Amino acid sequence: MNIELNKDETLGILRNVAHRLGLTNSAKFERVISEDRATAPDEYKFADEVLAAFHSGGGLAPRMQAYKLVSLNRLLQSLKPASILELGSGSSTIVCARYASRNNAKFVTIEESKEWLDNTLSMLNSFGVADAVTPYVRNKHIDVVARTASYIDRPTVAADFVLIDGPALELGGEKYIDAACVDIFDMLPGPKTIIVDVRKPTVERMVKEVSTSSYRYTPSDILSRSPKSNFNYFSIFSRV
């Protein structure tokens, strides 16, 4: 029997084979994460519990999500911020709320989807840290010409530590993945630390517009071909 495959199917098979053989960036990252997991099982236990709760609640668990949560917790423990602002809620909200609860820190999260925020709040309740966060629902604005995204009527929040993972870059069923999230620019140079969850256009705009005399930039290692131990999941801007 002859089976004809189209180009996409063929490429998909080749990618899967390459991944199994350890020839892709994803496989290399997975090996590094597996090694890290073996050295810090308790940290990953909490991350896995958070992801399992979100999965059962309808959330998604991308391949490197556990490492992302562990990395976030390590940054919080190292930097010890007194106040946190999160743009875009999700599994990271649980990590921030647990830190805030244990360290008497202020924590605000902003989300455009009430349904998604309700799911997040349900998870916060199940982990016993709902009282540690002040949540806001705000509509978003995406300028398709300027390729920017922001929250409308965003509350004025002063924070030591800002996590940028929102707003979502979808409008009318179309994704504008090249849009930069610009809420952070009118907060500068306030936050001591700004971390960006992937969002390459946001990082590129910040690198271009944020003064190097004000912030030191440490790039994410996600796009690296040879990830190192304890690699940077987030792009990090640290106030000088």
pLDDT given for residue 9 in this prediction: 55
Q: Which amino acid is at 223?
A: L
**What does the pLDDT read at residue 162?**
98
pLDDT (0 to 100) of residue 8: 52
pLDDT reported for residue 11? 47
Give the ranges where 62-221 is alpha helix by DSSP (H).
Answer: 65-79, 91-103, 114-126, 200-209
State the pLDDT at residue 132: 97
Domains of the chain as residue ranges with CATH: 25-239 (3.40.50.150)
- The pTM (predicted TM-score) of the whole model is 0.86
Residue 62's pLDDT is: 54
Within a 10 A sphere around the Cβ of 230, how many other Cβ atoms? Answer: 16
CA geometry: angle 140, 200, 73, nearest 5 deg: 85
Q: Residue 192 has what DSSP assignment?
A: S
Mean pLDDT by 10 residues, the chain (240 residues): 51 46 64 92 94 65 80 98 97 97 98 94 94 97 94 94 94 88 93 95 94 91 80 94
